[in-house]
Structure 1
Amino acid sequence: MRSDQIRQGRLSGERSGDLEHFLASMDADRWIAKADLLVDMAHLLGLRRQKIIDEAPARALMAALLDLYDHGLPEEAFDERFEDVHAGKEAYLIDRVGEDFGGRLHMGRSRNDEVATCIRMRLKEEIIALVQSLADLRRTLIETAAVHTETVMPGFTHLQHAQPTTLAHYLLAYEQAFSRDTARLREAYARVDISPLGSAAFASTGFPLDRDYTARLLGFARPAGNSMDAVAARDFAIEVLSDAAVCMTTASRLCEELVLWSTAFVGFVRLDDAYCSSSSIMPQKKNPDVAEIMRAKAGSVAGSLTAAITITKGLPMSYNRDLQELTPHLWRGVEAARQSIPLLSGMIGSAAFDTERMGAEAGRGFSTATELADVLVREYGLAFRTAHRIVGRAVRHGSLDLATLEDAAREAAGISVVEQGMTQEKIDSVLDPRHAVAVRSIVGGPAPAAVAVQLAEQKGLLARDTAWAEETRTALLGAFEDLILESRRLAA
Structure 2
Amino acid sequence: MTRTSRRPLWRHARSLAVPAVVGLLLTTGLASSQEQSLDVRPAAGVTAQQQEQDRDQFFWLAQMNKATTVINSDEGLLDPEKATDIAAALRKVILDAEAPDAERPSTVVNFEPLLIEAGGPDVTLLHAGRSSQDMHATYRAAILRDEMLGLADQLNTTSRTLVELAAEHTGTIVPNYTNGVAAQPNSYAHYLLGHAAGFDRDAERIRQAYARIDRSAMGTTVLNGTGWPLNRERMAEYLGFAGVVDNAYDASQISSMDQPVEVGSIVTSVALRTGNLVEDVLTQYSQTRPWILLEEGDGNTYVSSAMPQKANPGLLNDTRSDASHAVTLAQGPVVQTHNITPGMPDPKDVSNNSEMVEAGATALEGLDEALQALVIDPERALEEVNSDWTASQEIADVLMRDHDLPFREGHHVASEIVDFARANDIRPLDFPYAEAQRIYTETVPGQELPLTEEQFRAALDPVAIVNNRATSGGSQPAELDRMITEAQARLTTQDEWIAARRGHIADSLASLDRDFAGIVQG
Name the TM-score, length of structure 2 as normaliser. Answer: 0.81
Match of 1:175 in 2: 196
Question: Is 1:42–1:217's contact at 8 Å kept on the other side of the alignment?
Answer: yes
Question: Is 2:415 the counterpart of 1:392?
Answer: yes
Give the deviation of 1:447 after TM superposition: 1.5
Aligned: 1:44 with 2:69 = yes
Cα 1:62–1:357, aligned 2, differ >3 Å: closer, same or farther?
farther
Q: Cα distance, 1:415 vs. partner?
A: 4.2
- The aligned counterpart of 1:340 is 363
Deviation of residue 70 (structure 1)? Answer: 5.2
Is 1:474 equivalent to 2:503 in the alignment?
yes
Please list every run of at least 4 consecutive aligned residues from structure 1 whose deviation after the TM superposition is greater than 4 angstroms: 28-31, 67-71, 73-76
Q: Deviations over 1:330-358 (max 9, x none)?
A: 22210111222233223212422222211
Mapped to 2, the partners of 1:70 and 1:401 lie a distance apart of 84
1:410 corresponding residue in structure 2: 441
> 1:308 offset after TM fit, Å?
1.1
Given the alignment, which residue of 141, 159, 170 partners 2:162? Answer: 141
Question: 1:433 deviation in Å?
Answer: 1.1
Tell me which residue corresponds to 1:159. 180
Match of 1:228 in 2: 249
Aligned to 1:378: 401
Contact 1:241/1:305 (<8 A) preserved: yes
Match of 1:155, SS state, is strand
Q: Which residue of 1 aligns with 2:517?
A: 488
What corresponds to 1:445 in structure 2?
474
Instruction: Return the letter of the residue paired with 1:286.
Output: A
**CA offset at residue 390 of structure 1?**
0.9
For the pair 1:93 / 2:118, whether they are aligned, the reply is no
Amino acid at match of 2:114: Y
Q: CA deviation at 1:277?
A: 4.6
Task: Supply the distance in 2 between the matched residues of 1:323 and 1:172 (Cα, whole angstroms).
Answer: 36
1:175-198 CA distances to partner (integer Å, 9 max, x unpaired)?
Answer: 111111101100111111111001
- Structure 2 residue corresponding to 1:184, chosen from 192, 205, 210: 205
Measured after TM superposition, the shift of residue 139 of structure 1 is 1.6
- Distance in 1 (alpha carbons) for counterparts of 2:448 and 2:332: 61
Percent identity reads 26
Deviation string 1:418-472 (CA, Å, 9 cap, x unpaired) is 4x3x343332222111111111132111121221111122122222212111112
Asked whether 1:251 is paired with 2:282, we answer no
The 5 A counterparts of 1:341-356 are 341-356=364-379
Name 1:276's counterpart in structure 2.
300
Q: Is the 8 A contact 1:401 1:424 kept in 2?
A: no
Deviation at 1:208, TM superposition (A): 1.9
- 1:370/1:307 Cα in 2 relative to 1: closer, same or farther (>3 Å)? same
Change (3 A) 1:139 1:481: same
Q: Does 1:361 align with 2:384?
A: yes
2:139 and 2:258 map into 1 onto residues whose CA distance is 15
- Matches of 2:466 and 2:503, distance apart in 1: 44
Q: 1:287 to 1:44 in 2, by over 3 A?
A: farther
Partner of 1:205: 226
String of CA shifts for 1:160-188, please: whole Å, max 9, x gaps.
Answer: 21111111111111111111110110011
Q: Is contact 2:60-2:139 (8 Å) kept? A: yes
TM-score, reference length from structure 1: 0.86
TM-aligned CA distance change 1:323 to 1:352, over 3 Å: closer
CA distance in 2, matches of 1:355, 1:321: 54
1:32 aligns with 2:57: yes
Residues 449, 239 of structure 1: CA spacing in aligned structure 2 closer, same or farther, 3 A cutoff?
Answer: same
Which residue identity does 2:448 align to in structure 1? V
Q: Deviations over 1:51-71 (max 9, x none)?
A: 323334433332343345456
Q: Is the 8 A contact 2:174 2:186 kept in 1?
A: yes
Question: C-alpha displacement at 1:30, in angstroms?
Answer: 8.7
Q: Secondary structure at the match of 2:197?
A: helix
Q: Distance in 2 between matches of 1:453 and 1:63?
A: 59
* Alignment partner of 1:313 is 2:338: yes
SS in structure 1 of the partner of residue 403 of structure 2: coil
Does residue 1:294 correspond to 2:290, yes or no?
A: no
Count of residues in Structure 1 that have an aligned counterpart in Structure 2: 456
Mapped partners of 2:382, 2:304: distance in 1: 35
2: CA distance, partners of 1:395 / 1:244: 43
- 1:283/1:483 CA distance change after superposition, 3 Å: farther
Q: Root-mean-square deviation (CA), in Å? A: 2.5
* Counterpart amino acid of residue 445 in structure 2: G
- Mapping for residues 232-243 of structure 1, pairs under 5 Å: 232=253, 233=255, 234-243=257-266
Kept in 2, the 8 Å contact 1:401–1:427? The answer is no
Specify the code of the residue in structure 2 equivalent to 1:159: G
Secondary structure of 2:184's partner? strand
Unaligned runs of 5+ in 1: 1-27
